[in-house]
Amino acid sequence: MNTTMTLTTVALMCGSAIGGVSLPNVWGPMEHVMISLDNGAVHAHVGTHAGNAVELQRFAGENYDGAAAVLDDSYYSSQYGWVADGFISLDAGEFMWVERVSSTAGLDVYEGGMRMMREMHTYDAILGTGGSDDAWMWSGMMVHNWYSADALGSYEATYEVFVGDASGNAVLGYDSAMVTLNFNAVPSPAGLSLLGLGGLVAARRRRA
C-alpha cells in the first residue's frame, strides 16, 4: 500500500514537470528607458551605450510555451524597459508612441510587460519586426519588451518617442526625443558551453 502511494506520487511529480509551463528566462538588472514630458518636450534617457550594451543570451534546446516560442533558439533579453520618469500628463486622445528610426538587421522585438509576468505577455512582433508597424503605442506602464537576434554580434535600435493621436499621427506642439538601445549577443552561459564542449569531445572519440 505504501509502495503504491509512493509510486503514484513520483508519477504525478514527473507529470507536472513535463507538463509545466516553460517561459523565457529573465536575468540581469532592469535597464530602464526613462521617459518624461516637460513643457511640451518629450525626454528619453537610458544609461547604456555601445560599451555597456545589454547582453542577449541563447539557451539552446529550450522550447517556450505558446506565443513565447518566437524566442526559441534565439539570443534574447528583456532587460530594457520603458518607464515613466515622473507624471506624464497628456490630453484626452493623446498617447505616447515609440517609433523605430533604424535598427540593425537581424534584431527583432516582441511585446512584453512587467518582467515577472511573462505568462501574460503577448510576444507580438512590434516596432517593425516581421513587417509590423514601426510605431508602437506605449501604455505608460513599465513595459519590458523582448529583444532577440539569430546570430552573435552587436546590435542597436534607435527610436523616436513622441506624442501622437490614437493612430500614431504626431500631435503638433510637442517636441519628440530620440533614444538608442544597444545589444551584444554573446555565447551561451558557461554551463551550457561546457555541455556543448563535452558533446564535441564525445563525437571526436566516436570517429577515432
Residue ranges binding Cu ion (CB under 5 A): 30, 81, 142
Least distance from C-beta 70 to Cu ion, angstroms? 21
- Per the CB < 8 A criterion, the answer to whether 108 and 75 are in contact is no
Which residue lies nearer to Cu ion by CB, 43 or 115? 115
Least distance from C-beta 2 to Cu ion, angstroms? 49
Amino acid at 25: N
Least distance from C-beta 143 to Cu ion, angstroms? 8
Least distance from C-beta 79 to Cu ion, angstroms? 9
Which residue lies nearer to Cu ion by CB, 96 or 164? 96
β-bridge partners, 88: none
Which residue lies nearer to Cu ion by CB, 142 or 171? 142
- Per the CB < 8 A criterion, the answer to whether 33 and 81 are in contact is yes
Which residue lies nearer to Cu ion by CB, 145 or 164? 145
- Per the CB < 8 A criterion, the answer to whether 72 and 63 are in contact is yes
Q: Environment class of residue 49 by beta-carbon count within 10 Å: exposed (0-12), middle (13-18) or buried (19+)?
A: exposed
Which residue lies nearer to Cu ion by CB, 32 or 100? 32
Q: Three cell numbers at 135? A: 510605431
Q: Which residues contact 125 (CB under 8 A, 6 or more apart)?
A: 70, 108, 109, 110, 131, 132
**Phi/psi at 30 (5° precision):** -70, 140
Q: How far apart are alpha carbons 143 and 163 in whole angstroms?
A: 17
Least distance from C-beta 83 to Cu ion, angstroms? 6
